[in-house]
Amino acid sequence: MSMRSRLFALVAIPVALLQAHATDPFAFFEPSVSLTADERKRLDSGGNIARVVPAQERDIAVFAAVPVSVGADRFVAWVRRIEALKKTSYVLAIRRVSNPVRLEDFDSLTVEPGDLEDIRNCRPGKCALKLTAAEIETFQNTIRERGAGWKPAVEAGFRQVMLHRIQAYLAKGHEGLSDIRDVSPPHSPASAFAGVLRRSEFLTRQLPQHAAFLGKAPAQTADIESFVYWSKELFSRKTVISATEVSIVRPDRDGLPEVVIASKQIFATHYMDASLGVTAIVRDGPSKRYLTYLNRTDVDVVGGFFGGLVRSILQRRLRNEAPGILIGLRERLESGEPPAAGAPQPHGSGQTQH
């Protein structure tokens, strides 16, 4: 081989590698996730994949992917009808809130008897729910004032808590939320979410504007559509009431997904101090599409003496359930357009996106 040929070969090899990397539909999730050849083969044959992602601190993270036959327009239409998209036997109640949010948005929200009793016994630093000191004091005052009729009054008060927290979040982001005073030392929702976002390096690297949107108070932008919903879901035989902000981005740069949907936890009553789920449709050439999901959650049950065991159990459960979640989501997307508002809600595979 001539000197010129050898030089050409040395240049051509890295160029070929860069081209291959540029066409990798899953490169969006690097460095958090890099698919193996076996995983790509499984997806190409119509199967699904799910894996636990190496996590830091109190995080638990999982990645999953399945082939899908619909594009961004159908996905966005379903996301806008979040009640229909997420409603399953595990989602006991759900509603997209108004803009601006109103107390009437929580009319259908009920608090389970066990949670009502836990609220009755709450004290700052000794509370089974993730409440603030001011919220705990208000509930205790209500219980003393209402006597035997305290339960409906506390339930009504909880709807007020939901309203006030979402209003505070929409005004100032997580910085507008006070410290949580459950069974652990006072801790900040803002710090918890900032850590989850910081450890989601792929999003900061690939979509810095979207990451910046997630990291501060919500604001109307031309490129990002967002809304808030609340839900009451069953987790391990315990109900969790939460509020979530959904943001939708349609990247216009080659090599990025057709659409990226970020689900940012505003707050939850149990288990989770912060959570960020990113669902995207990625393309591989002109005809192949994949529905992908990466969730990173800061959970409050992985510390202490049994922390490692609890983390292992939760990771295994998430990995086992993730394919069913995505398959159920794919079934709805591929079933056609979402039902109109007010139409009967579908019940899918019995899975729910945690």
How many Å separate Cα 213 from the centre of its chain?
A: 15
Quick one: pLDDT at residue 17? 41
**What pLDDT is recorded for position 311?**
63
In DSSP terms, 228 is beta-bridged to 245
Minimal CA–CA distance to 55: which of 265, 272, 312, 273?
312
pLDDT at 239: 93
Q: What is the pLDDT of residue 286?
A: 84
Instruction: List, in order of start, the domains of the chain with CATH numbers.
Output: 34-101+193-334 (3.30.530.20)
Question: What radius of gyration, in Å, describes the C-alpha atoms of the chain?
Answer: 22
Q: Show pLDDT as tens, one digit a residue, over the chain (354 residues).
A: 554 544 444 444 444 444 444 578 999 999 999 999 999 999 999 999 999 888 777 888 999 999 999 999 999 999 999 999 998 888 999 999 999 999 999 999 999 999 999 999 999 999 999 999 999 999 999 999 999 999 999 999 999 999 999 999 999 999 999 999 998 889 999 999 999 999 999 999 999 999 999 999 888 888 999 999 999 998 877 899 999 999 999 998 888 999 999 999 999 999 899 999 999 999 998 889 999 999 999 988 655 555 665 566 666 667 777 888 889 999 999 999 999 876 555 444 334 344
DSSP code, position 123:
B
Q: Tokens in use for 237?
A: 């035989």
Q: Which amino acid is at 326?
A: L
Are residues 307 and 222 in contact, defined by beta-carbon separation less than 8 angstroms? Answer: no
Structure-token pair, residue 94: 């759900």
Residue 62 structure tokens: 């999982």
Tell me: the pLDDT tens digits for 116-143? 999 999 999 999 999 999 999 999 999 9
